[in-house]
Chain A
Amino acid sequence: MEIIFLTFVFVLSIFLGFELINKVPSTLHTPLMSGSNAISGITLVGALASAGSANQSLATILGTLAVAFATINVVGGYLVTDRMLAMFKKKKQGGES
């Protein structure tokens, strides 16, 4: 793939990221962090190809380890974010809570 094309995507995504995250209130910064952390586990997708290619043993070993570590990041990240967000509740009407 062309370098320019990939760089273009990279730069635009960074700007998009800035726009999106600037709107997140500080109340949600911890879930935001663990949630975006889970997204950074996307490297799992890259790891799958290496682990499954089976034509180069070093790549297979590295790939398998990468799959394991990235999966920890993805599964753990999403689950713990969900656990946190489930606790956020709004005050019920009427002053009592």
Chain B
Amino acid sequence: MSTGIIINLVYVASAVLFIFGLKLLGSPDTARRGNLISAAGMFIAVVVTLLDQKIIAYEYIALGIVLGALVGAVAARKVAMTGMPELVALFNGFGGLASLMVGWAALAVALSIADATATVPLFTLVTVFISILIGGLTFTGSLLAYGKLSERISGRPFMYAGQRIVNGLILLAVLACAVLFILDPTNQNWLYLAVALALVLGVMFVLPIGGADMPVVIALLNSLSGVAAAAAGFAIGNILLIVAGSLVGASGLILTNIMCKAMNRSLRNVLFSGFGVVKKVSGPVVEQGEVNPITADDAYYILEAAASVVIIPGYGMAVAQAQHAVKELQTILEANGVEVVYAIHPVAGRMPGHMNVLLAEADVPYDLLLEMDQVNPRLEMFDVALVIGANDVVNPAAREVESSPIYGMPVINADKARTVFVLKRSMASGFAGIDNPLFFKENTRMLFGDAKEMLGNLVKAFD
């Protein structure tokens, strides 16, 4: 058997391992094994590729792998669970950049061969440009998303008049460069310009998107990094890149769709509307009554008498580092015979499923984490809904107030529980800057203060 056949057979095996790995990710019991299987698929693919006869120098490969592995391993160990969205965005960007370079390198090789013999095939040229365009915009788009998520850059949407037209023109310019280069591959300036413009486009594309919409953006960039890898696969004629890349592309697209639905917005709207800047309208506001504050000691009496409690965490809980305090409260409530579950809104964290990871870190068992659709029909049955650092995702205005900017967004109906406790630092509004009528409901009691401290006081009251 020739090496080529062996390599391709191993690629088939590797693709099978990726597929099995993703399949096992479908359940928390098997997910860890699934990830290992997928990693094994990657490992055999890399090892067998090194057998390729075309590879004659290993020193640069070794250098790249050692450097990359070191950086990757350190980043994976060091990152805090709250910082997961930034890290995923950054990794995404690196994947996109690698695809850009693979496409470019394939072009450089093809051109050097073409000097001697014939012209570069059109198919190679086109696919190279696709991998450069998508890889490039994934890279800089992800870097900007990283900056916004880690708050190195303001998370506010940055908009100006004619923004969409400018972005459209940049895209057209990239395509024009591609065409000009394909017509005359000896003039490399068009290639450089296309690379530069693809990088600029990534920045321009993420600029108008606000911090609150980042879950959608990361999911979309995730998808694009897969598509970029698939495009690079087309460029170098490697099937494994195409298979793996399109699996990731599909996965990212599904997550993007889920996130958009959870915010009741179309992808178009998320990408172009800059949510949260113009929404300072004081329209027909709901009749806002009195806010009823309550102390931890009084809350204790209600919690002590409760039979069931649903905890609704938001990102504010993670900001206050209150996960472990929540878990403590859960333990003490359960010891008191109270049924405790968690209701998780799809956009409760800053990336899809983020809240689940944050709670898992605090040892909250995953089978207590209920999805919004599971918990909403039975919210009336709960004695207490404990809202911690969440705002927009429990806002009843989304159901009741047609003029509200978030009207129609699916929310957790916390207000339906017999008593609602809202743990909140102050009366400031959430990410979207929208008033929340929940705070003024008759069955709502506000626990003002730092979430961690307040939970600590509640736990103390039980002792």
Contact check, B98 vs A33: say whether CB atoms are below 8 A apart.
no
B307 to chain A, nearest CB (A): 13
Contact check, A59 vs B105: say whether CB atoms are below 8 A apart.
yes
Query: Across the interface, which residues of A come within 8 angstroms of B361, CB to CB?
Result: 87
Question: Among A20, A26, A41, A62, which residue has its beta carbon within 8 angstroms of that of B247?
Answer: A20
Question: Among B19, B31, B106, B239, which residue has its beta carbon within 8 angstroms of that of A20?
Answer: B19
Contact check, B240 vs A42: say whether CB atoms are below 8 A apart.
yes
* Chain B residues with a Cβ closer than 8 Å to the other chain, count: 117
A53 to chain B, nearest CB (A): 6
Query: Across the interface, which residues of A come within 8 angstroms of B389, CB to CB?
Result: none
Contact check, B239 vs A6: say whether CB atoms are below 8 A apart.
yes
A47-B101, A52-B54 known; A20-B248 Cβ under 8 A: no
Contact check, B230 vs A10: say whether CB atoms are below 8 A apart.
yes
Q: Render A79-95 as a binary contact track against B, CB cut-off 8 A, 1 for contact.
A: 11111111111111001
Contact check, A14 vs B56: say whether CB atoms are below 8 A apart.
no
Contact residues of B between 388 and 415, Cβ < 8 Å to A: none
Nearest to A79 among chain B residues (CB) is: B76
Question: Among A18, A46, A51, which residue has its beta carbon within 8 angstroms of that of B64?
Answer: A51
Decide yes or no whether B32 CB sits under 8 A from chain A. Answer: yes
A52 to B57, CA, bound (A): 5
Contact check, A52 vs B240: say whether CB atoms are below 8 A apart.
no
Question: Among B34, B50, B233, B351, which residue has its beta carbon within 8 angstroms of that of A33?
Answer: B351
Nearest to A63 among chain B residues (CB) is: B105
Query: Across the interface, which residues of B come within 8 angstroms of A38, CB to CB?
Result: 38-39, 42, 91
**Which of the candidate stretches B162-170, B274-282, B352-360 sits at the interface with the other chain?**
B352-360
A62 to B450, CA, bound (A): 50
A58 to B68, CA, bound (A): 20
Contact residues of A between 1 and 19, Cβ < 8 Å to B: 1, 3, 6, 9-10, 13-18
A77 to B32, CA, bound (A): 13
Decide yes or no whether B442 CB sits under 8 A from chain A. Answer: no
Contact check, A67 vs B68: say whether CB atoms are below 8 A apart.
yes
**Which of the candidate stretches B22-30, B172-180, B314-322, B429-437 sits at the interface with the other chain?**
B22-30
Q: Render A41-72 as a binary contact track against B, CB cut-off 8 A, 1 for contact.
A: 11111111111111110111011111111111
A36-B226, A40-B226 known; A89-B68 Cβ under 8 A: no
Nearest to A30 among chain B residues (CB) is: B353
The 10 closest A-B pairs by CB, nearest first: A71-B68, A17-B250, A29-B353, A67-B64, A76-B72, A52-B55, A91-B365, A75-B72, A79-B76, A50-B105
Residues of A within 8 A of B (CB): 1, 3, 6, 9-10, 13-18, 20-56, 58-60, 62-92, 95-97
